[in-house]
Amino acid sequence: MNARPSRADLVVRNAILVHAPGAVPVPGATIVIRDGLICDGPVPPGARQLDAAGAVVTAGLWNCHVHLTEAAWSGAARKPAAQL
């Protein structure tokens, strides 16, 4: 493996990490991003570092849509908001 840092290597330190919906937040987390991917492993020497103290880091695009398939939603365009 190449030990030299890539321009894409980034280390986010001191973040509050929420790694999955409903997961217990992990305070003080260190996240290593190598070539655009979150990865396990040591901090690459020379990687750019960002102190995220007080910030929350989550994966992008979680649960960004819903499926309204229950019978209650049938004909929703014609029902009053209070009924929905």
Within a domain: 35: yes
| pLDDT value at residue 51 | 97
Domains in the chain, number: 1
Distance between CA atoms of residues 62 and 80, nearest Å: 29
Domain span at 28: 1-58
| pLDDT value at residue 24 | 94
What beta strand segments (E) does the chain contain? 10-18, 26-34, 37-39, 48-51, 56-58
Within a domain: 69: no
Within a domain: 83: no
Within a domain: 15: yes
Distance between CA atoms of residues 75 and 2, nearest Å: 58
Q: Give me the CATH number covering residue 50.
A: 2.30.40.10
Within a domain: 67: no
Within a domain: 63: no
Q: Which residues of the chain have pLDDT under 50?
A: none
